[in-house]
Each structure stands twice: as structure tokens, then as C-alpha cells.
């Protein structure tokens, strides 16, 4: 795990998690605890009327989850938006009206030019001070920007083409449950549910190109990942990304071909990756099963492609523990270190 940024010991923040019963929120809560985030208070909210969404936990303690009301938020410094895109849109104007900062993990704000999109390991300078919204990249864009940024800053990057393998957890608990039920059903020669994925994902691979736009499970509109990665890393290289649904529960994996400036070599590429605190280089443990729950990005399988200064890379990162959740908490730490806000004792 990357070294934790030092925080002023007496500064604490009033924080809240919106849609606090989701998988994304679980990842954020785990990171807040693991990194000993100095919270003066923690409140959990939900947008959902489902009775099962009325109770959650934080740091091993059961907590009631309620529907948020803007006028009743009281003292709040930082909020984490952890629901769906639709749920996130509901709250985007609340930070400006309520005088707090929202870190958006829902992707609802990612396409808005006026809202900074931040991968803390790549462009922390984009974190805006004061009330408002800070967007986090989608997990696939988080992985790709963490992988490509050190290459661009090191030997340089002319072109990248990537195939991203998306796990079932991108569709939340429902996706994990359906993949499990499909697997059990197939092993027992039963019919399999297809409400989430629309197809059999178990023991299968499904390119998102087979889905209609807007109907992709956990889907991303065409061109969105490229736009997010370029916004975070700088857009002076060609980038093309395809997404394939994979029958794994956690972790994004990517196979990427990168083209460096003429004359650059594999040692140049490896040296750039090894300089990054976010990237670990090596072949051992570089699969989704082995990286689940682990922080950081594992890059492996660097080998020459079809022409000089062109290379293949295999990379894996946990989409919850090491991706957006950790990124969001690191952004919150930076906000707290920069400004006292309305911090409590």
C-alpha cells in the first residue's frame, strides 16, 4: 500500500456517505477505517426505500441509514456519493447550496467540464478548494490513467490501445449475486438468471459491443473511458478502449498495447512504471483472484509488440479496494490537509 499522506493531527472532518449500503460505499468505509481518516462525525444516507437499505455499519458498529434532507444536513465538510449515476445526479447541486465538498464516485458529474476529474496518483493539483463537486474516474479509467500516466511522463506515449475486462461487481451486489447464481445453476444443470447481464456471463466473455447503447450492464457510453483518461493524464496521444464483461467477481484487468516514441526501449518503459508509487511491476500475483482486496496496480507481461518501441502490458487492479474508493479517500485527506473548513474536535 502506498504511504499514507501526513495529516494535521488535530484537524477532523464531519463526513457523510450517500447511498451507504452499496458496494462502492463499502469500499470507501473500509478505506476510511484502514487509513485512520480523522472523522469528527460520520453519517450514512440512502436514496432507496428498500427496507434492507436502512441499516449499515461503519468501523464494525451498526448505524441507521436515513434519507438525506439538504436543510437538515447541519455541519458537513465532505460527502462521498456512492450510488448509481441516477442517484448521484440528485445531489450534484447540494454541495454548493450546503457549503461542503462532495466526492462523486457515481460518474454523474464526470462529463461536466467545470467539475475536476481527479486520480490522486496522477493529477492531485486538479483538486479544487472550497464547496463543490470533485469527480473520480470510473474504475476502468482509474486503472488506465494510473498505468498510462507514468509512461507519458517518462519515455513518452504516442498511442495506446486497451481491452478492459470488467468484473461483475461493476453492477453492484446484484451483479455479484447473478454471476454466483449462474455459476451454481450451470453446475447443477438448471436454468440461469439473466436479469442483470441479459446473457450468460458465467464461464463466458461478453464484449459490450453486443449490447445496445444504454443497455450495457454497468455500462459506459462509447468514448467515455478515452475522454476520462485523457482528461486526467493529458490528451496528446491516441487512445482506443474496448470493454469485455468477464466472469470474475472483483478486479479490472487490462491488456494494453502502448507505442512509445521511436528509439525508446523496454527498459525505458519498465523504468517509468517502477517510478510510480501506484504501480507494482512483476508477474507473481498478477491475476484478478490474487489482486482482490489489494491496493495498487500490478503490471506484468511486458513484451514487444509487432514493431519497434511498441509493447504489450497486462495490468490488474481491484476496482473497489485499490481503485475508486482509495482514490476518493486520498482526495478527502488532501482536502482536509489544505483547509480546516468546519472541522470539529
Q: Are residues 105 and 181 in the same domain?
A: no
Q: Are residues 91 and 237 in the same domain?
A: no
Q: Are residues 184 and 125 in the same domain?
A: no
The three-state secondary structure class of 247 is: coil
Closest by CA to 260, choosing from 277, 272, 251, is 272
pTM of this structure: 0.91
Cα separation, 44 vs 66, whole angstroms: 7
The CATH number given to whatever domain includes residue 262 is 3.30.360.10
- Asked if residue 345 is part of any domain, the answer here is no
- Domain range for 33: 13-137+324-338
pLDDT recorded at residue 212:
72
The three-state secondary structure class of 86 is: helix
pLDDT recorded at residue 227:
95
- Asked if residue 8 is part of any domain, the answer here is no
- Asked if residue 192 is part of any domain, the answer here is yes
Closest by CA to 87, choosing from 129, 24, 178, is 24
Q: Which helix (H) or strand (E) holds 161?
A: strand 159-166
Q: Are residues 149 and 277 in the same domain?
A: yes
Q: Are residues 154 and 293 in the same domain?
A: yes
Cα angle 166, 258, 163; round to 5 = 20
Q: Are residues 80 and 118 in the same domain?
A: yes
Q: Are residues 115 and 217 in the same domain?
A: no
Q: Are residues 148 and 61 in the same domain?
A: no
pLDDT in tens, the chain (345 residues): 344 444 444 589 999 999 999 999 999 999 999 999 999 999 999 987 766 667 888 988 899 999 999 999 999 999 999 999 999 999 999 999 999 999 999 999 998 999 999 999 999 999 988 899 999 999 999 999 999 999 999 999 999 999 999 999 999 899 999 999 999 999 999 999 999 999 999 999 999 888 876 677 777 777 899 999 999 999 789 999 999 999 999 999 999 999 999 999 999 999 999 999 999 998 788 999 999 888 889 999 899 987 789 999 999 999 877 688 999 999 999 999 886 544 454
Q: Are residues 244 and 288 in the same domain?
A: yes
Strands 13-18 and 78-81, by their bridges, are: parallel
How many structural domains comprise the chain? 2
Cα separation, 342 vs 14, whole angstroms: 8
The CATH number given to whatever domain includes residue 37 is 3.40.50.720
C-alpha cell at 339: 483547509
- Asked if residue 255 is part of any domain, the answer here is yes
Amino acid at each position: 500500500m502506498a504511504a499514507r499522506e501526513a495529516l494535521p493531527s488535530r484537524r477532523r472532518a464531519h463526513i457523510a456517505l450517500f447511498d451507504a449500503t452499496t458496494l462502492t460505499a463499502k469500499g470507501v468505509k473500509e478505506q476510511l477505517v484502514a487509513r485512520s481518516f480523522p472523522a469528527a462525525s460520520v453519517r450514512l444516507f440512502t436514496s432507496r426505500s428498500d427496507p434492507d437499505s436502512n441499516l449499515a455499519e461503519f468501523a464494525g458498529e451498526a448505524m441507521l441509514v436515513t434519507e438525506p434532507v439538504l436543510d437538515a444536513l447541519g455541519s458537513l465538510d465532505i460527502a462521498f456519493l456512492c450510488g448509481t449515476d441516477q442517484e448521484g445526479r440528485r445531489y450534484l447541486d447540494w454541495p454548493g447550496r450546503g457549503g461542503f465538498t462532495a466526492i462523486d464516485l457515481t460518474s454523474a458529474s464526470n462529463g461536466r467540464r467545470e467539475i475536476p476529474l481527479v486520480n490522486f496518483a496522477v493529477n492531485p493539483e486538479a483538486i479544487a478548494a472550497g464547496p463543490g463537486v470533485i469527480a473520480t474516474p470510473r474504475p476502468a479509467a482509474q486503472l488506465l490513467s494510473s498505468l498510462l500516466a507514468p509512461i507519458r511522463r517518462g519515455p513518452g506515449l504516442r498511442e495506446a490501445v486497451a481491452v478492459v475486462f470488467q468484473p461483475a461487481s461493476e453492477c453492484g451486489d446484484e451483479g455479484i449475486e447473478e454471476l454466483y447464481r449462474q455459476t451454481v445453476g450451470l453446475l447443477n444443470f438448471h436454468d440461469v438468471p439473466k436479469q442483470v447481464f441479459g446473457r450468460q456471463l458465467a464461464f463466458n466473455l461478453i464484449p459490450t459491443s453486443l449490447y445496445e447503447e444504454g443497455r450495457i450492464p454497468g455500462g459506459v457510453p462509447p468514448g467515455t473511458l478515452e475522454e476520462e483518461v485523457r482528461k486526467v493524464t493529458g490528451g496528446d496521444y491516441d487512445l482506443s478502449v474496448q470493454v469485455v464483461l468477464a466472469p470474475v467477481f472483483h478486479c479490472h484487468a487490462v491488456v494494453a498495447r502502448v507505442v512509445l516514441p521511436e528509439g525508446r526501449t523496454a527498459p525505458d518503459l519498465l523504468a517509468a512504471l517502477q517510478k510510480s508509487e501506484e504501480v507494482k511491476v512483476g508477474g507473481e500475483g498478477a491475476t484478478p483472484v490474487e489482486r482482490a482486496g489489494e491496493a495498487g496496480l500490478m503490471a506484468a507481461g511486458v513484451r514487444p509488440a509487432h514493431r519497434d518501441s511498441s509493447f504489450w502490458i497486462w495490468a490488474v487492479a481491484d476496482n473497489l479496494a485499490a481503485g475508486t474508493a482509495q482514490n476518493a479517500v486520498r482526495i478527502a485527506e488532501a482536502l482536509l490537509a489544505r483547509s480546516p473548513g468546519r472541522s470539529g474536535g
